[in-house]
Structures are given as structure tokens and as C-alpha cells.
Structure 1
């Protein structure tokens, strides 16, 4: 009877005690979260209740397994398995606690500062710091798990002797990966590009959607995702439209006939912008910037608060201006001129020369026969 009750008491008691401690801890965290709603720390800590209970249960079972006298033939294997579970759950819990602390610090910073550019920079740094912490904790946990096996501890001396050669080989083989890793850290703390920045890479413009230690993802305007190594942003030039402020100036071009009413177009541009919600009201302008034998180039300058709004203003101005010219000034639109060319006065074959000759002959006195 004792051989049956002892394992049930030990295992069942460990499980029940784990559930009770986990429930009590969750109640305390929920109460603290209700009393301190200004900080999300306690609510974020509640996300770690599963690894927390795993740590408690694994620790209790590991400490009391010898007393249970259950499956004694597999005592070593079960004990090692519980140790592995304990190490993994502890690493999981450390990552959750670190994430809660980091997220709480960022939320306090976000409440204290309203600058979007600064917030994006800090958010990028926080994301990369969490990835580094997760990677370090994962490596330490994996190494600790391997060291629980006696064969791995015995092989440690031989591995240490060849660590120098292996390090050189690994460094050469992982040169690209290491360069991306250091480039990711440089981006995080060098403020080169941040989450939410509008950038232009390889002729494509979009918003930075994700930054990791090795790659960066740009979400384009048509919802495509461009993934590239972070070393690209440290080795090649690129446009960052959000750095130093998101305000932008847009340009709209028209190719019109030389008779186009430029002054009336300036007034119409002002009316269009006043009715466009995306225009920020900072500035606008219209001028003739170039001319060709058949057309002239008219350029409009418009402003907006960011890249998305300046695109909206540009397409609105272009569309409504062309519609207005078509309805009220159709002669201003470019056309192919098929009229006869006017030759210079005095040309032997020119119309003006023949007409002038006829006029002169009409006013000349009549000639006599004397010569």
C-alpha cells in the first residue's frame, strides 16, 4: 500500500501545491495591476504564470522524486529529464520577466516624450535588446542542458583545446552573419533607421516594418514585403524620409501649350489645396520651369506632414488641375501643330514677301513708254 500512496502523495502534492502557489501569485499580480493602473508591469508579469508554474512543479518533483520511489529503474533518466525541464522553464521565465521590465520602461518613456521620431528610435533599440537578451538566455540554457550529460562534461577538455582553431574557422564561415549582427547593433544604437520610418531602397519606397539582428523588412505602399540584410543600410546609401522630421514637399509637373493661363492656374492651385485635407498649409507654388518648341513645363510645389499625405496631395492636384484645364481652358493642353510655317519677311517664296510686293506695285505710278 505504501508503494502506491507514497508516489501519489509526492507527485500529487507537488502538482496541487504548484497550482495553489500559481493561483495565489496570479491573484496578487491581478490585485497589484488593479491598484497600479498607471504601469503595465504587473499585467505583463502575469504572462509568465505558465513558466513560473513549470519551474515550481519541476523543482518540487526534482527535489522529492527520490522520496516517491517511483520507477526506480529509470531514476537517473527521469531526474535528468526533470532537470532539463527546470532549466528550460527557468530560461522561459527569465525572458518573460525581462520583457515585462523592458516594455514597462518603454511605456513610461512613451508617456514622458511625445516626439514620434524619438519614440521610434527607442522602440527599435528595445526590440533589438530583447532579441539579444533572448539569444543570450537561450544559449546559456542550451549550454546548461548539455552540461547535465556526463559525456559532454568529459568532452569539455578536448573541446577547449581545439576552441582556438574552431573559433577561427567559425569566424571565417560566419563572416556574413557576424557582419549583419554588428550592423543590426549599429542600426539600433546609431539611429540610422527606425521602426516606422519611410525609406527608399532600390527604387522602392515603403515603411520599415521589422528590424532584427540580421535582416530588415520594408513594407511597400502596395503591401509587398522587401526583406534585406541589415548590412545593406550600413554599406549603401538610402533615403530616409522620416529622419529629421516627417514633413515633405511634393512636386507635380504638367506639359502644357505655351498659351496656358499660368496666373489662373496659380489661383486654381490655391483653391484645390484649400479643399484637400492632406495639405498641411505650410507652402505652395506654381512656376514655369522649362520650355520646348511644342510645350512648356509647369511645376507645382505642395507640402504635407508625411510621405503618405504628400502622395495624396500630388495625385489630387494633378487630377483636378487637368480636369479644370480640360473644361475651361482646353487650348492649354498640349497638341500637335499642323499649320503652315510662317517664313521670314523678304523670303522669295514667302507669303509675306509676295504680299508686300503686291502692295508696293499697287502704289507705284504707271510707267510710260519712254522707259
Structure 2
């Protein structure tokens, strides 16, 4: 009975001392947390796991060293060892999550040019998932090794580890492929969180990347769930891999008699009147002229993909309205020509006057931006570039 009372007294003293020390440290962190974001996050996140770990460790050491034998002493110590392992894993995970949160807080994604921030965020989120999984597996394994029967089986398990690993790899081939693909995506920079992609003819934004699947938020708020191995084995379009600014087109078909220059001026006016345009590219070109119609393609640029979509719709709407109001005769039509009665064998002579076009009609020439784009496509140095 005296041994049991001594053990109870040792537990109370050890737990009380540990709680006092931890609360003192917590008070100091709270006092200086206003000056340091790191201390502030530690004070909020790591307080409970730190208190639990220190208290359990102090109780376990007190029972081990300061008490004699009492009924159930071995079982109690074994349970305390397991609890210390679990709480220690909780504490390590909390500390690592604090560091990862600090890394995320330094890279904001709510800025215009957030490509690097999105890459870092993707990698940190993937590392967080791997970290939690590794900590849980290690803690579970260490806790199992505290049982003598499990340690006795260790040698035989290691001897058959080769066969087991082969069987497990065959059984979980697709799952392991997705896991490795997820790690590859996190560090290959092929896709990042918030990237705008076109997958399976669906246009959307990368919402979440895990070790096994990628969630794509489609433009109409649907979610397309794809295995991570899809992005390592099949082609897809990434609109924002090197930057958020993108180019887009709006096409309309008009009659052969359409005056192009007024439409080009109207396109420039539309772009300059909206904040959706980023001021880089505003070009109108004739890209096709077959079957009695002329196809006009307006090429415009925007800061990001959502703005580009709205800008393309706006350009198409304004150009159609302008044609209807000012050049209604330019609407597409089908015509048949009848030769004159006095000379049925001689076709009418048509003289076309082609005016000189300005920079708004050129994509790969004319301006400094166009020259650089053209040089990139043909593989020659841009004008003015250093050799």
C-alpha cells in the first residue's frame, strides 16, 4: 500500500512540476509573440501537444525511478511509454506544421503575378501530407516495437520483407503509381495550385493536389477529379505555367466587301475602354477567305484566364454590334454572279484597293512585343537582344 501511495505522490508531483514549467514557457511565448509571427504560431499550435508530451514524460520517469514495485507497475509503464510516443509524434507534427504555415504565409497567391507563390504553395502542401503520413507510420511502428512479441517477430518479418514487398507492389501498383506521380507533380512544376488548365476538353483551375488525385474546379463550378498519374502520362494544356497573362481570340465571319480598317479601329477602342485588357496585344487579322466569307480574328491579351474569357466575349459582342450598326452590308451572304448580256463570255473586272495596315494587324512583326514573339517562334535572337 505504501508503494502505491508513493507512486501516486510521485505522479502528482511530476505532473504538477511539468505543468508549471510548460505554463511558464507558454507565458513567455505569449508575452513575446506580438513581436514574432513564428512565436505567435508556436504559442497557438504547439501548446497542447507540448504540455501533453512533457507531462506524460515526467510521470513516466517518476514512476520508473522514484517508486518501488506495486501491482500493475509494468503495464502502467508500458502504457505511458506508448502515450509518450504518440504525444511526441503529435508535438513533432505540430512543430513541422508551424514551419510549413510560416513558409506559406510568406508566399501570397492573391497578387497578379503569383506563379512562384503557387509553385511554393503546391510543394509545401504536398510536403505537409507526406510529413503527416510519415510521422503517423513511424509513431505506429515505434509503438508496436515496445511489445516483446512484435520484436521477436522482427527477424522473421525482415527475412520475408523481399517477398512481401513484391506482393504489396503488385497488389497496390496503381495506388503506388499515383503516389509517386503526386510527388513528381509537386516538384516537377508541371502543375500548381490555381493553375488554369484544359483537361479532357474541360477548362478549369487546379483546386487541390494530393498524393493520389487532383481536383479541377471547372468554370461552371463542377469538380473534375483525376488521378495524379493522369498528368504524368497524358497531354494537357497549362495556360499559366510560365505566367498568368494569356492571349485569346474572338472570331467573326463577314462579307468580302467589309472594310477591315474601321473594324480594327473599333477593336482598339473596345480594348482601351475596358480594364480587362492588360495593354499588351490588340490585333485584328484576316485569317481565312473561302466560300464567300472573310474570317476576322481578334487577338487580345489579359492578365489572367478569367479576365481573358470576359474580354473575348466583350470583343465579339462589340464587333458584331458595330458591323450591324455601321456596315450592315458586310454581314455574311451567299451571292451568284450573272454575266452581262452584251458580253456573256467576259467576267466583270474588279479592282481591289488594299490599304496599308498598322501594328494592330500584326502578331509577329511591327512592334517590339511582336518582334520578340516572332523571334521566339523562329529561333533567332530578338531585335536588340545581346548576342
User: Please, what TM-score do these two structures have when normalized by structure 1?
Assistant: 0.81
Query: Could you tell me whether the CA contact under 8 Å between 1:87 and 1:145 is conserved in 2?
Result: yes
Report SS of the residue matched to 1:99.
helix
Q: Paired residue for 1:292?
A: 290
Query: Could you tell me whether the CA contact under 8 Å between 1:11 and 1:68 is conserved in 2?
Result: no
Shift of 1:342: 4.2
Q: Paired residue for 1:344?
A: 339
Residue number among 141, 160, 163 corresponding to 1:162 in the alignment = 160
1:260 corresponds to 2:258: yes
Cα deviation 1:196-248 (Å, max 9, x = unaligned): 22122111122222222222222222222222222222222221111222221
Report SS of the residue matched to 2:225.
strand
- Structure 2 CA distance for aligned equivalents of residues 26 and 347 of structure 1: 106
Query: Could you tell me whether the CA contact under 8 Å between 2:113 and 2:244 is conserved in 1?
Result: no
Q: Paired residue for 1:367?
A: none
Query: Could you tell me whether the CA contact under 8 Å between 2:246 and 2:302 is conserved in 1?
Result: yes
Residue number among 190, 203, 206 corresponding to 1:205 in the alignment = 203
Residue number among 72, 79, 82 corresponding to 1:81 in the alignment = 79
Query: Could you tell me whether the CA contact under 8 Å between 2:240 and 2:246 is conserved in 1?
Result: no
Query: Could you tell me whether the CA contact under 8 Å between 1:288 and 1:298 is conserved in 2?
Result: yes
1:25 corresponds to 2:25: yes
Shift of 1:182: 2.4
Distance 1:65 1:272, change over 3 A: same
Q: Paired residue for 1:281?
A: 279
Name the structure with the higher helix share: 1
Query: Could you tell me whether the CA contact under 8 Å between 1:62 and 1:79 is conserved in 2?
Result: yes
Distance 1:331 1:343, change over 3 A: closer
Residue number among 98, 105, 122 corresponding to 1:100 in the alignment = 98
Aligned residue pairs total 341
Shift of 1:332: 2.8
1:126-165 → structure 2 map (5 Å cutoff): 126-165=124-163
Distance 1:326 1:16, change over 3 A: farther
Distance 1:208 1:81, change over 3 A: same
Distance 1:222 1:287, change over 3 A: same
- Structure 2 CA distance for aligned equivalents of residues 108 and 303 of structure 1: 29
Shift of 1:35: 2.8
Report SS of the residue matched to 2:283.
strand
- Structure 2 CA distance for aligned equivalents of residues 133 and 109 of structure 1: 20
Q: Gaps spanning 5+ residues in structure 1: where?
A: 353-371
Using the TM superposition, name which of 302-311 and 188-197 deviates more: 188-197
Residue number among 31, 39, 43 corresponding to 2:40 in the alignment = 43
1:285-324 → structure 2 map (5 Å cutoff): 285-324=283-322
Q: Paired residue for 1:365?
A: none
- Structure 2 CA distance for aligned equivalents of residues 209 and 196 of structure 1: 6
Distance 1:109 1:332, change over 3 A: closer
Distance 1:109 1:343, change over 3 A: closer
Q: Gaps spanning 5+ residues in structure 2: where?
A: 347-387
